[in-house]
Structure 1
Amino acid sequence: MSTGTRARRTGLTALATVAVTALAVPAGAHAATDAPAPARVQAPASAPARAATAAASGKVDHATWQRDCQGVMDQALPYIEERIAAGAPGEKRAIVFDVDNTTLETDFGFHWPQPANRPVLEVARYAQEHGVSLFFVTARPGIIAAPTAYNLEHDGYEVDGLYVRGLLDLFKNVADYKTAQRAGIEAKGYTIIANIGNSATDLSGGHAEKTFKLPDYDGQLS
């Protein structure tokens, strides 16, 4: 069993345990020569290069993942700052986030509550402090909606809306399901200025001005 698969299974098992508990309680040489060659300083690999290396090696470490997430959020934050500044008076701005390995460290957070993905949390906090509503669209089933909302709020996210899959949604294509939820948010009068996730199914289908994809290393992260 691969490290990624084992991590996902461990994370899902822990999450299922949390769900039952929550529902039960109210609430990354030179060849030798006669004279030594001068030392060579190698520039750090870019985020895409690290992602490719991690995917090829068959395992992803937390530090590499965090650096790669930070690289994406270093692009997202300036855009969000500019977009907020350029917004029309009275505009209802929103950002849509995925949950697993986007806002929360699902495949790395082996305790409850699961820790926030810090680079994403920093961007979310900036947005919410500047009047942007935060919506979370996840493929998690409805049975764990309450613990998911608690986890997000505990970590510092303001949850203006959490969308989880109901029974009928479990039979739908995930990308189609998520697209429909974003369309619903727009129907409430919001302009989705950014959509942030780690999978193509989080971002396809439109209904967002700009998308930012976090690494999933060819599907190694859920």
Structure 2
Amino acid sequence: MTRRPWARPVSLTAASLASLAALAAPAQAAGRTQPTAGSATAAAAVDHATWQKDCRQVMDQALPYLKQRIAAARPGEKQAVVLDIDNTALETDFGFSYPQPANTPVLDVARYAQDHGVSLFFVTARPGILYWPTEYNLEHDGYHVAGLHVRGLVDLFKDVAAYKTAQRAGIENDGYTIIANIGNSPTDLSGGHAEKTFKLPDYDGQLS
């Protein structure tokens, strides 16, 4: 499911916010390692400052690569970066709020890419019911959403890694070269259809 050509701000009631809170964080859980006993939350695994430092280290590797790859774009090449959402593009497991704040190290790299003509596509395991709140959240935080892929009813029963791989293949079929794929889980990055992958920390599956 891709982004509509127009964005529609959403007005969320308390009930819908509660639904979003309940659905957003667990949405990536399928296909991931479950937290071990005594470590049910990300906060128990790592503090926010450490997570941000660890994310920054990965993005400090991504940015020089992107600068070089963007500068080497072939004539007519449509470059794209694919990003996961939960605890990749957005901070999800460090206290819920809406709109959720961007993961700053990732946003900084994404802004460089979009400012240099690269299209940003978001591939998430979130269900389709969260399409509009998610798109609004991303745009609110400063991401230019070229496409948002969420799981439809059929996709909910598919392996997450296979679903995400298929979405990237579809982006390529639309004529884009995916120069980077950024996520925090192996299910975000496996299956190919990207020139280079960058894995953010998930602390052995304790971060959704």
Task: Name which of 182, 189, 194 aligns with 1:203.
Answer: 189
Compare CA radii of gyration and give the structure with the larger one.
1
Contact 1:73/1:120, CA 8 A, preserved across alignment: yes
TM-score under structure 1 length normalisation: 0.76
* 1:33 paired residue number: none
Give 1:58 shift.
5.1
Task: Name which of 172, 175, 180 aligns with 1:189.
Answer: 175
Contact 1:19/1:144, CA 8 A, preserved across alignment: no
- Structure with more of its chain in helix, by fraction: 1
Give 3-state SS (helix, strand or coil) of 1:160's partner: strand
Task: Name which of 14, 19, 25 aligns with 1:16.
Answer: 19
Measure, in 2, the Cα distance between the counterparts of 1:18 and 1:102: 17
Measure, in 2, the Cα distance between the counterparts of 1:127 and 1:194: 10
* 2:132 paired residue number: 146
What is the aligned-residue identity percentage?
76
Measure, in 1, the Cα distance between the counterparts of 2:57 and 2:110: 15
* 2:206 paired residue number: 220
* 2:123 paired residue number: 137
Measure, in 1, the Cα distance between the counterparts of 2:194 and 2:18: 29
Q: Give per-residue Cα distances to partners, 1:27-54, cap 9 Å, x unaligned.
A: xxxxxxxxxxxxxxxxxxxxxxxxxxx9
Matches within 5 A, 1:1-222: 16-17=19-20, 59-222=45-208
Measure, in 2, the Cα distance between the counterparts of 1:88 and 1:111: 41
Give the gaps of 5 or more residues in structure 1: 1-12, 21-53
Contact 1:95/1:134, CA 8 A, preserved across alignment: yes
Q: Judging changes above 3 Å, is the alpha-carbon distance between structure 1 residues 17 and 83 closer, same or farther for their aligned structure 2 residues?
A: closer
TM-score under structure 2 length normalisation: 0.80
Equivalent residue letter for 1:70 = R
Measure, in 1, the Cα distance between the counterparts of 2:176 and 2:86: 24
Measure, in 1, the Cα distance between the counterparts of 2:185 and 2:17: 22
Q: Give per-residue Cα distances to partners, 1:147-203, cap 9 Å, x unaligned.
A: 000000000000000000000101000000000000000000000000000000000
What is the Cα-based RMSD across aligned positions, in Å? 2.1
Contact 1:175/1:202, CA 8 A, preserved across alignment: yes
Measure, in 2, the Cα distance between the counterparts of 1:109 and 1:141: 20
Contact 1:105/1:116, CA 8 A, preserved across alignment: yes
Q: In the comparison of the two structures, how many residue pairs are matched?
A: 176
Measure, in 2, the Cα distance between the counterparts of 1:17 and 1:73: 28
Measure, in 2, the Cα distance between the counterparts of 1:14 and 1:68: 30
Q: Which runs of 4+ in 1 moved over 3 A?
A: 17-20
